[in-house]
Amino acid sequence: MNQEEAIIAGQCDRGGGYRELVLASPRIAATVRPGQFVHLRIPDLHGAVLRRPFSIYRAAGDNLHILYKNVGLGTTAMNRLEEGRQVSILGPLGNGFPLELNDRQPVLVAGGYGVAPLYYLAEKLREKGRLLVGGRTAQDILLIDEFTKLGWQVEVATDDGSSGRRGMVTVLLDELLDTAPAGRCVFYACGPDGMLKALAERALAHGLPAWLSLDKHMGCGGGACLACVTRIRTDDGSESWERVCKDGPVFAAREVVWE
């Protein structure tokens, strides 16, 4: 883990309420792996005592890119971060996704900001595969062109049917699981708990490996405070609390106990 005074290199709208923030952060950018995240201290956030965690969407040269949505106090204040401004970040944090495919075909399953870490993963995986992405409306679906440009096959589902299939991303998942090549898949997922849980159940039922990136509210981000824990079952059947910030955020679907 590093602590770096990053410099804002710019930010812009990316649609669907998301903004892309670029931070010059050479030390963290040099080592960050897909699925890892940074803990960002938002300047001038009076009364706030915690940093905010964000996944890495891209790392290129000295720069880290994140995609964030305005959902509250901190993320709204992030809109005001101007070029040249200094912000303190901790990173790279967490374990990240395993890149070893073991001859399996990667299938990425995304909801919400989940496309961000999965895009960085798609850049780094040796094989291309498909992305199944869900959202409320067409507007909420991000990065389709980017994934397509990388050579990935993209399938979309929206609640209102305004893009792709109507329904949840599980509709796409069930279709995929009905086809023959499904037996060679490995899933990588990031999104709302409901989506992760639905994927985990299906992957386990089909005996397929799945890696899930979990989202828990965090304190320290570095394993010290035990705020971010999730219930994990080991192969011998015993259960314990593990830290999403340090032991995760990526866990195997078979380990995760849904509360």
Ligand X SMILES: Cc1cc2nc3c(=O)[nH]c(=O)nc-3n(C[C@H](O)[C@H](O)[C@H](O)COP(=O)(O)O)c2cc1C
Residues 92-131, interacting with ligand FAD (CB under 6 A)? 113, 116
Written as one letter, the residue type at 80 is R
Q: Which is nearer to another protein, 182 or 225 (CB)?
A: 225
Residue in 58, 243, 249, 256 binding ligand FES, rule: CB under 6 A: 243
Over the range 54-67, which residues count as b (16 or more CB within 10 Å of their CB) and which as e?
bbbbbbeebbbbbb
78 Cβ contact partners less than 8 Å away, ≥ 6 residues apart = 11, 19, 21, 42, 68, 70
Q: How far is the CB of 225 from ligand X (least distance, A)?
A: 4
Burial 205-226 (b: 16+ CB within 10 A, else e): eeebbbbbbbbeebebbbeeee
**Which residue's CB is nearer to ligand FAD, number 54 or number 185?**
54
Are the CB atoms for 109 and 191 separated by under 8 Å?
yes
Min. distance of Cβ 11 from another protein in angstroms?
22
Number of residues that bind ligand X (CB under 6 A): 2
- Contact between 78 and 31 under an 8 Å Cβ cutoff? The reply is no
Compare residues 184 and 231 and give the one whose CB is closer to another protein: 231
Within residues 208-237, the interface with ligand FAD by CB under 6 A covers 215-218
Number of residues that bind ligand FAD (CB under 6 A): 22
Least Å distance, CB 228 to another protein, is 8
Please give the residues from 203 up to 222 whose contact with ligand X meets the rule CB under 6 A.
219
Q: What is the phi/psi pair of residue 83, to 5°? A: -50, 135
* Residue 67 contact partner, candidates ligand X, ligand FAD, ligand FES, none, CB within 5 to 8 A by sort of partner: ligand FAD
State the Cα–Cα distance between residues 113 and 161, nearest whole angstrom.
20
Q: Before 92, cis peptide (omega within 30)?
A: yes
Site string for ligand FAD, 53-92 (x = CB under 6 A): xxx----------xxxx-xxxxx-----------------
Distance CA 160, CA 181 (A): 29
Provide the binding-site residues for ligand FAD, judged by CB under 6 A.
37, 50, 52-55, 66-69, 71-75, 113, 116, 215-218, 249
